[in-house]
Amino acid sequence: MEFSRRLGDRHLLDSDALENIDRMTNVALGQLSGGISPASLAMAYLDWTVHLAASPGKQFQLAAKATRKAMRLGAYALSSAITGNAEPTIKPLPGDHRFDHPGWQRFPYNVIYQGFLLNQQWWHNATTGIRGVSKHGEAAVWFTAKQILDMTAPCNMPLLNPEIVETTINERGANLSRGAQFYGEDMRRSLRDEKPAGVEAFKVGENLAITPGKVVYRNLLMELIQYSPTTDTVQREPVLMQSAWMMKYYILDLSPHNSLVKYLVDQGHTVFMISWLNPGAEHRNLGMEDYRKLGTLAAINAISDILPGRKIHTVGYCLGGILLTIVAAAMARDGDDRLASVTLFTTMTDFTDVGEINVFMDASEVTLLEDMMWQKGYLGHKQVSGGFQMLKSADLIWSKMVREYYLGQREPMFDLMAWNADGTRMPYRQHSEVLRRLYVDNELFQGKYLVDGRAISISNIHVPMFAVAAGADHVAPWHSVYKLHLQSDATELTFVLTSGGHNVGIVNEPGRPRRSFQLSVCREGERFLDAETWKAKTPVYQGSWWPVWQQWLQRHSSGNEAAPPMGAPDKGYVPLCDAPGTYIYQV
C-alpha cells in the first residue's frame, strides 16, 4: 500500500525537481541578460519581423523615408560645408540635451549629430505603426532599438563629440586622467558592493532624517515613529505617512530644508511615519496581506490607541500609496471610518498603461523575475534601480559616463542621490503578488482584488482624497495616476500635476526656483475631463504644492488642541528609541 502511494506521488516529486531545473535555468539566463527575459525579446522580435515581412506597404514607406532622409542629410552636409551656416533638418526631442554644446553646430559635428537624429527617427518609424504587432511587442522592439541607439550615439564617442575633443585639448588630457580615476573608483566600489562615491558625506541620523521624534511601536515589519511637536498647539487629526517598502522612508525627511515631515510638524501637525523592515531571505514568504495587517493597519491601530477619538490623515507614496488605497478600500467596505483623508503621491491605481516599464511586465518577464527572486528570497535594490536606469539610459547611464569618465566632471553628491543609493529589498512572495495581481492582472482597478476573501472597490472610499502626479515621471506616468478619477467616488478629489519626476516632484519644498504645478478639485456630481483636456484647461501655478496641500489638510481637520505627549506608556506604547529608529540602518 505504501509503495502504491509513493508511485502515485511520483509525478509530483518529478515535477518539483524538473521545475527547479527550469527555475535555475531562468536564473542563469537572467544573470546573463541583466534581468531581461530573452524569450520575451525573442517573441517580440518575431512578432515584429513577421508582420513587417507581411507589410509591403510599410516596407515601401520605410524605404522612401530612408531615401528622403539620406537626401536631406546630403543636402545639409553640402550646404554646411560650403556656407558653414545651414538650417538643421531635424531637432532633438524635448528633454534630449545630449547635443546642446555649441560645438555640435560646427562642421562636421553638425552633420554627425543630424545623421544620428534622422537615423533614430527612422528606427522609430520602423519599429512602430506596423499592422498586427501587439502593443507589448511594439514597445519591446522599440525599447531594444532605443537602447542600442542610445549606446551608439555619437555623443558617447570621444573622437565624435566636440565637447570631449575641446576639453581634452584645453586640459591637455587631464580630464581623461581624472575620468580614469573616477572609473577605477567606481569599478572598485561596484566589485565590493559599496555605495557610490560621495555618499559618505550623508549619514542617516546626522544630516539626513534628523527631525526629532520617538519610535513608539515596533513589530516584525515596521517601526512607527511619532515626531516631536514644534508648536504649542497642533491639529487634532494626526498625519500618518508611508513610503514604498522598496525605498527607505527618509525621502520624506531628507535634509532640514527639504524635509516634508519637518515642514508639516512646523505647521502644527502631529506626524507619524512608518519605517519599513529591510527584508532578507528569511522573509521570503511575507506577502501583501502581511504588509496590510502588520504595516498600515497596525500603524492605524496604534495611532488610534495613542490618540483615541481622532480620525487620521493618511499619506502613501508610490507602492506605499497602492497599499494605502487597498487598506482604505477594505476599511470603507467594512464600515471602519477612522480615516479623515487619503493622500497619494505618484500612485497608480490602474495598471492598464504603465508607460515604458510595460516592457518588463509580460508573462515571460514576470516569470524570470519570480525565478530570480525565488533563488534569493527577495528582489535586490540594484536590480530595481538598474531596470529604472534603462528606461532613461541616455541620461542616467551614457550621459553620466561622458560627463564623468571623458570630461572628468564628477557630479557632486546631494541628499536625494544619497537616499537613492540606500535602497532596500522586496520579499519574494510580496513582489510576485504585486507583479501578477496588480501590474499583469490589474485586479485593483477591475474590482477583483481580494482582502479577507472579499473583493474591494476604490469607489467605496468616501473621504476627501488628494492625489499628486509628476509630469516627468517614468515610473508612474501621470496619465495613469489621473485615472483615479475613473474609480474615485470620494466626496472631494483634488488632483495636482507637478513639475519634475517621480522623486523630485515630491521633494518639492517652497523656495526652489523653476517649480510649478496644476491643480483642480473634482466633487461628486461633476463631469469627468480626459487627461489632455484637463491639462490644457487647468491653470499653472508657480512654486511648490506643499503649502496648498498643508492648507488642504488643515481645512479637513477639526481644529487645534494642545500638543500630545510622545506615545502612550499607560497603553503599552512606551517610546522605544529616538528617531530615526533602528530599521532604517538595516543594509
Q: How far is CA 454 from CA 295, 326, 333, 369, in A?
A: 20, 12, 10, 28
Determine which one of 155, 318, 522, 577 is catalytic.
Answer: 318
Compute φ and ψ for 191, nearest 5 degrees: -65, -30
Residue 108: cis peptide before it, omega within 30 degrees of 0 = yes
Helix ranges (H only) for 1-108 are: 2-33, 38-53, 56-83
DSSP bridge partners of 341? 313
Burial (CB count <10 Å: 0-12, 13-18, 19+), residue 504: middle
Residue 5 exposed, middle or buried by CB count within 10 Å (0-12, 13-18, 19+): exposed
3-state SS class at 494? strand
User: How far, in Å, CA of 264 to CA of 69, rounded?
Assistant: 56
Strand partners, 455: 450
Rounded CA-CA distance 190/486 in Å is 45
Q: Are 158 and 61 in contact (CB under 8 A)?
A: no
Helices (H), 358-425: 363-376, 381-391, 393, 399-401, 415-420
Residue labelled with grid coordinates 562642421: 107
* HEC-encoded secondary structure of 283-345: HCCCCHHHHHHHHHHHHHHHHHHHCCCCCEEEEEECHHHHHHHHHHHHHHHCCCCCEEEEEEE
Q: Are 547 and 519 in contact (CB under 8 A)?
A: no
Is 318 known to be catalytic? yes
- For 370, the grid coordinates are 519570480
CB 490 within 8 A of CB 513: no
Distances (CA, A) of 523 to 9, 57, 348, 381: 60, 49, 20, 40
Helices in 152-211 by DSSP H: which ranges? 162-171, 174-191
Pull the grid cell for residue 399: 550621459
Distance, in Å, from the CA atom of 560 to the CA atom of 235, rounded to the nearest integer, reads 4
If phi over 0 gives left and psi between -120 and 50 gives alpha, with beta otherwise, what is residue 440?
Answer: alpha
Looking from the CA of 454 toward its CB, the CA atoms found within 13 Å total: 10
Instruction: Just list the catalytic residues.
Output: 318
